[in-house]
Amino acid sequence: MKNSKIGGQAVIEGVMMKNSNKYAVAVRKPDNEIAVEVFDVKNPHESLSKIPLVRGVMAFVDSLSIGMKSLTFSSSFFEEEEKNPKNEKKEKISNFFVIAVSVLIALGIFMAIPYLVSRFMGKWIESNLLLSIVEGLIRLVFFFAYIVLISRLEDIRRVFAYHGAEHKCINCIEHGMELTVENVRKSSRFHKRCGTSFLFIVMIISMIFYCFINVESQYLQFLIRLLLIPVIAGVSYEFLRFAGNADTKLIEVLSKPGLWLQHLTTKEPDDKMIEVGIKSVEAVFDWRSFVNDLS
């Protein structure tokens, strides 16, 4: 299997696919037609994207930005409010606050609470190493619980199905098959380069990093954890990048937990969802040349 270097995400009733400096969003509109829009990726820090570890942080920031823009585009087909410059300005401000609040909530749930609970358990556990492991395990439990809870929502299940369509399209061409509905349908919905796997790897690597924080002040301990987030993201990105290009038994074993997690974050798509995924790929990627090079 050859790495196509394309990736994407699910959006509202659609799929976003990114290839190099372009990304496309394909959406199944309420009238059942598929809308496709191609956007340029603005990367003012392109030189940084070649530096190991740093490029992981840049990729994470870019993925957040592109992901938010893609979601905004897809949601526009399901909004009744008339578009005008004032509404667009309000929408940009609203998106900024949504991102800011989401980051704060994520830091609270997945960083602060596990840390505080583990410190509370310090009354009975003296080992800093063991406390860091407990903190990491609590974080994983919270993460799994969050995924399980949101997967029960019907709208989220449809997003997860489009997530499956995204993976199946990429797996189809990376295994040298023509990008047809039939071939995509029989392809796997699990992929090693998935963002879900990235988040899982971040949590595992953070657990390892935090084991080496050995300072007395709890405030300083938490501050160091926050400052290490970019480093952990960079290391996690490098692992995922290496795993996506390697095909060894060790990488296969190390990638298993992230792939298992995708049983929750992806669902089998129907043919209409697959059609949307295909349109998104074809807008930014010459899959025919790629498949011909494999044969």
Q: Chain centroid to CA 248: how far? A: 23
| Residue range 148-162, pLDDT digits in tens | 999 999 999 999 999
- Residue 2: inside a domain, yes or no? no
The answer as to whether 123 is a domain residue is: yes
Residue 168 lies in a domain: yes
Predicted pLDDT of residue 262: 92
What confidence tens digit (pLDDT) does each residue in 197-255 have? 888 888 889 989 998 888 888 889 889 998 998 899 889 888 888 876 777 777 777 77
Q: Span 21-29, mean pLDDT? A: 95
The percent of residues above 70 in pLDDT, for the chain, comes to 90
Overall average pLDDT of the 25-54 stretch: 86
Please tell me which residue, 91 or 31, carries the higher pLDDT value.
31
pLDDT for the residue 102:
72
What is the span of the domain harbouring residue 72?
Answer: 7-294
- Is 200 part of a structural domain of the chain? yes
Return the number of other C-beta atoms located less than 10 Å from residue 255's C-beta: 23
Segment among 44-58, 67-81, 145-159, 272-286 with least mean pLDDT: 44-58
pLDDT value at 77 more than 70: yes
Identify whether 285 is part of a domain. yes
| Predicted pLDDT at 104 | 78
Average pLDDT over residues 5-21: 94
Q: Count of residues for the chain?
A: 295
Rounded to two decimals, the pTM is 0.85
Q: Please give the Cα distance from 6 to 289 (Å, whole number).
A: 14
Residue 121, domain member (yes or no):
yes
* 107 has a pLDDT exceeding 80: no
Q: Which helix (H) or strand (E) holds 28?
A: strand 22-28
Task: Answer yes or no: is 215 within a domain.
Answer: yes
User: What per-residue confidence (pLDDT) applies to 10?
Assistant: 96
Mean pLDDT, the chain, whole residue set? 86
Residue among 171, 138, 153, 100 at smallest CA distance from 264: 153
- Using an 8 Å Cβ cutoff, are 210 and 135 in contact? yes
Residue 264 lies in a domain: yes
The total number of structural domains in the chain stands at 1
Q: What is the pLDDT of residues 116-159, one digit of tens each?
A: 998 889 888 888 888 889 999 999 999 999 999 999 999 999 99
- Calculate mean pLDDT across residues 69-90: 72
